[in-house]
Amino acid sequence: MPDFAGFFLTYQSLLAFIGLNGLLALSVYCTLCCGQLSLANAGFMAIGAYTGALLTQNAHAPFPVALLAGAVLPAVIAVPLGLPVLRLRGVFLAIATIGFGEVVRLAFVNWSYTNGALGLVAIPQKTRLWMIWVALAAVMFALARLRGSRAGYALEAIREDEAAARTMGIASTHYKLSMFVLGAAIAGFAGALEAHLTYMVAPNGYGFSRAVEMLVYAVVGGDAVFHGPVAGAAFLTVLPEALRGAGRALGLSPGPLRLFLNGAILLAVILFLPNGIVSLPRTLRERRMRKASRAALG
Amino acid sequence: MLLSVEGLERSFGGVRALDGAAVEVSAGEVHGLIGPNGAGKTTLLNVISGLFRPTRGRIVLGGERIDGLPPHRIAALGITRTYQNIRLFPGLSALENVMVGAHLVRRGDTLRRMLFLRSARDDEARAREAALQLLGRVGLGDRAHHRVSGLSYGDQRRVEIARALASSPRLVLLDEPTAGMNAAEVQAVAAVIREVAKQGQSVVLVEHNVQLVMQVCDRITVLNFGKVIAHGEPQHVASQAEVIAAYLGSDA
Amino acid sequence: MWQQAINGVFLGAIYALFAVGYALVFGVLDILNLAHQAVFTLSAFVALAFVAEGNMPLAIALPVSLLAAGLIGIGLERVAFRPLRGRSDSNISGLISSLAAATILEAIALQIWGPDVQRFPQGTFPDKPLHVLGATVSALQLTIISVSVVLMAALTAVLRATRLGRQIRAVAESPRAARILGVDVDRVIAWSFFLSSALGGAAGVLFGVAFNSVSPDMGRSVELKGLAVIILGGMGSIAGAVIAGFALGLLEVLTVVQLGSSWRDAVSFGVLFLVLLVRPSGLLGKAAIREA
């Protein structure tokens, strides 16, 4: 008798993680869409996760409050972090955010109140699948409406040529900071959601490789449009699962395999399909048109 | 006097790009800025628009000092520009580029869009219409939706001009706007410049096309080695010995 | 006191050697090579493999690993950086591309050697303690310091006194001008990556030997120190990287002595953020801080 219950359970869990990874990818998209590379969001996610977990566990706060705090605290921290660095060249932000991620991780590792490296367990499992997907839908909606607004045009301009955008009156630092803070809030919110799904949080789950993973989702999906990151998250969440059997047959361990896939796909995308997999139909169409016009010219 | 630039100095590495440059532009004036390559014309525009700070000197716009202000503040005070090596936003269409140019005259509408308020839709429609009109004025109405990376250089320069005009600036800085254009296109640009000036806006025109400069400018300043070597009305300047010498010694 | 100074110089020598690689590539290409730490790690593993399985003495394994690291660097440049040259977003895409390459290299290391810490076999290096000016220094520490200094001096010599070095400096100043002057910019960039990665690889081997610990995530811990060093020293400046590297090593050792070892990493972060707040161009930085 096929295990339908087991299948649905796995299927549900996969959907939950696609949703969460989609949110995380969108948090990275927030900074990418104005041309900034930030690796801080794993750190913000950790802050949100711990905040939410501590509130429900220790303060017995209602779940919505814990979630809200999980979004607000990272956003507040993002301001003093972003302000000094966002007026500098992009590479400084990348470096500062790498540093920030490590600071957060080490802070939690060394904090006895949160059990250091062991982290918190037995967090009440309050997250439901619908909550994740409603949150994802809300964020996608907001980002969709942002695109095409005055601010949306400004962000695209900053991404393409920040100096030229400034000479058009666009206060680029203000916009970059706003998106940085928004990304922090989304990542923190997702962290709080995840904590109440997997019922545990530990510092090493929010390290540099997590930050890179979120970046990979966003870039692979396509960081020029808001639906790209979600597509990337879905693709890259499902792929390692799908290839797990093949990997084992080839003698590859699942951890390195997933890492390798992330890296290789990211490299391929950034080199050959810089606008991500969602731009694939358009790129193929353009290539076909170019071939056709070349043939027509004989 | 709309714009007054005095004693501007700016070096790069060991090179004195600006060495006491000065310019005065009135409202509604078309002011030419000429000189051999490397004379400091683009650097002067860069400093006026805020991309670089001068090490010495003053820039006064409508009574306010603007040297040292960041570029977006200077733009908000009414100075926009085009670029010698064309800095359009490559991933956007001509229309979208011009709409970005209108940033300063549009209202923030993110929240209203999220609530699907009618006023947001109307604002955007109005901005689109205005951008289309501007593109029409520079002769590109039929190519508004093309991606700018697919347009010819001449067309791209015209999009840049439309973009610079989109916020109804007091002063537009044009950096070699007709490079690579044919005679008809040059005349089209000349017509736009004249229109703009008639509406009371000022233009600073950096150009190597001396004929165009003579035709369209009310006054000219000649730069060489970062210094002003002549200024005044076109006919007067053209006859001055230093100007001729500077040009004969260059590859203009 | 002397003891701490020696320890600081010892640590700083490795940091400096590692950071110089970042500075060299950034100076030439204006891109931060985030795969540098992966080359650091792989090189240590290669040396370990040669010593443990190939029975090669460390004195030979080191230059061999250096060479291997340099070749990986050339491959890195070819695959992850060259195709992006000329793209308008080459700064951010270069960062992402190097991150991708780092991830791939890490995955390879993880697959081949597993996640656990590995150690060099017994007797790989001499461990005679020496007494200098009242402090105890091990022959190992002295060797590592000397090797680091020699390599950094060698790089400086190459940059100052050879034709390649002049060409590298020319390209770092302005690739366009260099090309006009007839410099083969592609070749120069490839050489820069070779030198940068060879030094980074050397730092990896020395680090692995110094702490007798090689693991796939060792590059991660040093990466941040390296970034703090080049921020302090000034992003494209090799001299800055050297000075700041030693400074950071000394600072770290002093902090551990005063405040305890859990504060060791706080130093690099502190330095990093402080410099970014107060003087982002660092000590000897030439890179423009803000475009507009």
Domain borders along chain C are 2-278
Of A146, A157, A224, the CB nearest to B110: A146
**Nearest Cα to Cα of residue C3 among C134, C130, C129, C126:** C134
Give the per-residue pLDDT at C125.
Answer: 76
Confidence band for C124, pLDDT divided at 50, 70 and 90: confident
User: Domain locations in chain A?
Assistant: 12-296
Closest Cα in chain C to B88: C88
- Chain A nearest-CA distance from B218, in A, is 26
Residue range A99-118, pLDDT digits in tens: 999 999 989 998 988 888 88
CB contact under 8 A, A169 and B83: no
Closest Cα in chain B to C173: B13
Helix (H, G, I), strand (E, B) or coil at C199: helix
Residue range B144-155, pLDDT digits in tens: 999 998 899 899
End-to-end alpha-carbon separation of chain C, Å? 47
- Chain B nearest-CA distance from C86, in A, is 14
CB contact under 8 A, B51 and A167: yes
ipTM of the complex: 0.91
Token reading at C132: 């200098």
Query: Interior CA angle at C289 toward C284 and C291, to 5°?
Result: 145
Confidence band for A5, pLDDT divided at 50, 70 and 90: low
B56-70, C228-242, C261-275, range with the lowest pLDDT: C261-275
Confidence band for C145, pLDDT divided at 50, 70 and 90: very high
Give the per-residue pLDDT at C292.
Answer: 41
Count, residues in chain A: 298
**For residue B133, what are the contacts with CB-CB under 8 A and spacing of at least 6?**
none
Unique residue bearing structure tokens 């997907």: A133
| pLDDT above 50 for A45 | yes
CB contact under 8 A, B90 and C88: yes
Unique residue bearing structure tokens 């009156």: A169
Give the per-residue pLDDT at B243.
Answer: 72
- Chain B nearest-CA distance from A296, in A, is 20
- Chain C nearest-CA distance from B52, in A, is 7
Partners of A120 in the β-ladder: A201
| pLDDT above 90 for C153 | yes
In this structure, how many other beta carbons lie within 10 angstroms of the beta carbon of residue A11?
10
Confidence band for B196, pLDDT divided at 50, 70 and 90: very high
Instruction: Show residues of chain B in contact with A160, CB under 8 Å.
Output: 89-92
Of B70, B87, B114, the CB nearest to A164: B87
| pLDDT above 90 for A39 | yes
- Chain C nearest-CA distance from B51, in A, is 5
Unique residue bearing structure tokens 């982002």: C280
| pLDDT above 90 for A286 | no
Q: Which chains touch C (3 or more CB pairs under 8 A)?
A: A, B
CATH of domain C2-278: 1.10.3470
| pLDDT above 90 for C57 | no
Pairing of the two strands C135-138 and B219-224:
unpaired
**For residue A110, what are the contacts with CB-CB under 8 A and spacing of at least 6?**
A116, C262
Question: Are the C-beta atoms of residues B33 and B49 closer than 8 Å to each other?
Answer: no
Closest Cα in chain C to A208: C220
Helix (H, G, I), strand (E, B) or coil at B205: strand
**Nearest Cα to Cα of residue A184 among A295, A19, A298, A74:** A74
Dist. CA C208–CA A271, nearest whole Å = 33
Give the per-residue pLDDT at A280.
Answer: 84
The DSSP secondary-structure symbol of C214 reads: B
Give the per-residue pLDDT at A124.
Answer: 86
Which of the given ranges, A73-77, A95-99, B184-188, C140-144, has the highest pLDDT on average?
A73-77
C24: left (phi over 0), alpha (psi -120 to 50) or beta: alpha
Closest Cα in chain C to A256: C107
Q: How many angstroms separate the most distant Cα atoms in chain B?
A: 66
Instruction: Show residues of chain A in contact with B110, CB under 8 Å.
Output: 145-146, 149-152
Of A37, A95, A263, the CB nearest to C92: A37
Closest Cα in chain B to A173: B72
Helix (H, G, I), strand (E, B) or coil at A140: helix
Question: Are the C-beta atoms of residues B39 and B224 closer than 8 Å to each other?
Answer: yes
Give the per-residue pLDDT at C129.
Answer: 76
Instruction: Show residues of chain B in contact with A168, CB under 8 Å.
Output: 72, 75, 80, 100-101, 103-104, 163, 167
Of C111, C266, C290, the CB nearest to A256: C111
Provide the chain B residues 148-187 that lie in CB contact (below 8 A) with chain A: 163, 167
Helix (H, G, I), strand (E, B) or coil at C135: strand
A236-245, B99-108, C176-185, range with the lowest pLDDT: A236-245
Instruction: Show residues of chain A in contact with B87, CB under 8 Å.
Output: 161, 163-164
Give the per-residue pLDDT at B252.
Answer: 47
Dist. CA B234–CA B221, nearest whole Å = 9
Q: What is the mean pLDDT of residues A247-272?
A: 87
Instruction: Show residues of chain C in contact with B90, CB under 8 Å.
Output: 88
Give the per-residue pLDDT at C289.
Answer: 61
Give the per-residue pLDDT at B251.
Answer: 47
Dist. CA B108–CA A155, nearest whole Å = 13
Q: What is the mean pLDDT of residues B212-233?
A: 91
More confident residue, B229 or A79: A79
Question: Are the C-beta atoms of residues C227 and C25 closer than 8 Å to each other?
Answer: no
- Chain B nearest-CA distance from A78, in A, is 22
Instruction: Show residues of chain B in contact with A153, CB under 8 Å.
Output: 96, 99-100, 103
Dist. CA C143–CA C229, nearest whole Å = 22
Confidence band for C265, pLDDT divided at 50, 70 and 90: confident
In this structure, how many other beta carbons lie within 10 angstroms of the beta carbon of residue C3?
14
Question: Are the C-beta atoms of residues C84 and C92 closer than 8 Å to each other?
Answer: no
Residue range C166-182, pLDDT digits in tens: 999 999 888 888 888 88
- Domains of chain B in start order, with CATH, are 1-78+169-252 (3.40.50.300), 88-161 (no CATH)
Dist. CA A289–CA A275, nearest whole Å = 19
User: Was domain A12-296 assigned CATH 1.10.150?
Assistant: no
A46-50, B14-18, B169-173, C8-12, range with the lowest pLDDT: B14-18
CB contact under 8 A, C292 and B51: yes
| pLDDT above 80 for A225 | no
Count, residues in chain B: 252
Confidence band for C285, pLDDT divided at 50, 70 and 90: confident
